[in-house]
Amino acid sequence: MNGDMRIYEDYVVVKALENGVNIIGLTRGKDTKFHHTEKLDAGEVMIAQFTEHTSAIKIRGKALILTRHGSIESGK
């Protein structure tokens, strides 16, 4: 497997702990830009994956975030 394919191996699970949690995908490249947004309500779960186009994910609101590196709670 080449290095480019490794980005497809990582998943991030985001569970909203309140209504109105925003998940924002940010682009790769010279200029970082917003390219996708989702809004979750309490109890909703989104499974996201880093891709050749997505280099970062920004989360606004209270949510539980699970990765292979561990978990963290946002919005505290």
CA-closest candidate to residue 59, choices 33, 34, 24: 24
Q: What is the CATH number of the domain that holds 40?
A: 2.60.40.50
- Reported as a single tens digit per residue, the pLDDT across 65-74 is 999 899 999 9
Q: What is the CA radius of gyration of the chain?
A: 13
Q: Which pair of structure tokens corresponds to residue 17?
A: 């702990």
**Low-confidence residues in the chain, pLDDT < 70:** 1-9
pTM: 0.79
Number of domains in the chain: 1
User: Which domain does 61 fall in, by range?
Assistant: 3-74
